[in-house]
Amino acid sequence: MLPTLPLLQKTDFPAIKRSTLETLQINLGYMCNQQCIHCHVNAGPNRTEIMGRDTCEQVLSFLRATPSIETLDFTGGAPELNPYFRYMVKAARQAGVHVIDRCNLTILSVPEQTDLAKFLAEQEVEIIASLPCYLKENVERQRGKGVFQESLAGLRQLNALGYGQIESGLRLNLVFNPQGPNLPAPQAALEADYKKFLREKYGIVFNQLYTLCNMPIQRFGSFLITKGQFNSYMQLLRDAHSDDNLETVMCRNLISVDWQGYVYDCDFNQMLGLPLLLETPQHISELFDVNLEGNPIVVAGHCYGCTAGQGSSCGGALF
């Protein structure tokens, strides 16, 4: 049972509005083969929420009917555990849409997924993979025993297929999260450290490193509560806020769809149950004729996690 989190809705975060919808981010379910301490979804092996076929079809119909959408971004849990994941990837690629898979790397070692890396390469799926540090001790403190070696094995699989090689066009980006209630280090310098260490010690290459703040919600938020660090972390985020990041936060051109098909401004709002600011509708199947451009974005205290320091979004630092 997770501790009850303080209300985040009361906030002085600046008001912002939506721009053109370019990215459709789909949470295919909260089931995951891992249970990481920094997970803002509270995903794990015992979660049963998973997107069904009818909702998958509704998502694909919306995708095909919305020409401005350039990217279909799959997240979870481990999105690959959804039985319709590969079907949706193929459908999106056939529609000429770029596909991102937010992969935890260890899923590539699951017996039922031994051909997953090859499938992703064949479909030219961009992979954004969590590797919160290049040191074994730090990774396993955050993600569990044995995860580091399985992550390296996954990266080697992907490299062997051409991922991370500039000339291949197969993009492999890694994600860094701080170990605790701290801001991430500057992205460019940390990326250089990652590339040097992983290449020299393990022969592993990748394209970019994305640095993300840990969001004070779900499992990580509960961790902060138990350590008595919630309020100080929220103050850290507020103190590091930069107005320069407001123009490029991900919620301006992205919507997040949960496993049941309900729509939110971002994945974090989804986890907090903060739907779009629309009287009706709230479901992807009812948004076909709704123009979201200019619609106010739901903001709360956690939004400072996206505008603190260099900024933090699904695509890493904002500047």
pLDDT digits (tens, 9 = 90+) for 243-294: 999 998 999 999 999 999 999 999 889 988 888 988 777 899 999 989 999 9
Tokens linked to 90: 């193929």
pLDDT band at 318 (very low <50, low <70, confident <90, very high): very low
CA separation, residue 19 to residues 23, 26, 74, 180 (Å): 11, 19, 21, 33
- Say how many CA atoms lie within 13 Å of 77 toward its Cβ: 24
Tokens linked to 227: 């350590």
68 domain residue, yes or no: yes
Q: Are 47 and 33 in contact (CB under 8 A)?
A: no
pLDDT band at 5 (very low <50, low <70, confident <90, very high): very low
181 domain residue, yes or no: yes
The CA distance from 68 to 51, in Å, is 24
Predicted confidence (pLDDT) per residue in 13-32, tens digit: 999 999 999 999 999 998 88
Domain that holds residue 138: 23-307
Q: Are 202 and 159 in contact (CB under 8 A)?
A: no
Q: Which of 318, 317, 319, 313 is nearest to 73 (CA)?
A: 313
192 domain residue, yes or no: yes
317 domain residue, yes or no: no
15 domain residue, yes or no: no
Burial class of 168 by CB neighbour count within 10 A (0 to 12, 13 to 18, 19+) = middle
| CATH number for 85 | 3.20.20.70
3 domain residue, yes or no: no
The CA distance from 55 to 302, in Å, is 28
The crossing angle, in degrees rounded to 10, of helices 53-65 and 85-94 is 20
pLDDT at residue 180, as a whole number: 78
Predicted confidence (pLDDT) per residue in 49-60, tens digit: 999 999 999 999
Judge whether residue 316 has pLDDT over 60: no
- Quick one: how far is CA 93 from the chain centroid? 20
Omega before 14 cis (within 30°)? no
Question: pTM for this one?
Answer: 0.90
294 domain residue, yes or no: yes
pLDDT band at 35 (very low <50, low <70, confident <90, very high): low
158 domain residue, yes or no: yes
Domain total of the chain = 1
